Amino acid sequence: MKPIDYSAHSEILRQVGFESRTLLNGITGPIQLIRSLSNDPNLLEILHILELSTIRFEKFSLRLQLLSDLLNPTF
């Protein structure tokens, strides 16, 4: 039985993980800037929710990278 080649799947997962982390950097930067410029408690609460969501999404992105590495350890 021939081993399954997961390299294409791995590459897709790797790219999705990379692109999502790139997008997250574009979101977290402005969040930090707004946080540093604002004292409005309502806005700070919204920013906190956004930060929690970006952290969760970043963890998901890193799991995609790990899965990609497991599927194709040559990358």
Residue 75: pLDDT over 60 = no
* One-letter-per-residue 3-state SS of 39-50: CCHHHHHHHHHH
With vertex at residue 26, the alpha carbon angle to CA 50 and CA 55, rounded to the nearest 5 degrees, is 40
Tens digits of per-residue pLDDT, 3-23? Answer: 777 777 778 888 888 888 888
3-state secondary structure of 73: coil
**Would residue 3 count as lying in a domain?**
no
Domain assignment present for 2: no
Per-residue pLDDT, 68: 82
d(C-alpha 67, C-alpha 58), whole Å = 14
Q: Is residue 4 part of a domain?
A: no
74: pLDDT confidence band, cut at 50, 70 and 90? low
* Domain total of the chain: 1
Distance CA 55, CA 4 (A): 33
Question: Does residue 46 form part of some domain?
Answer: yes
For residue 40, what are the domain limits?
A: 9-70
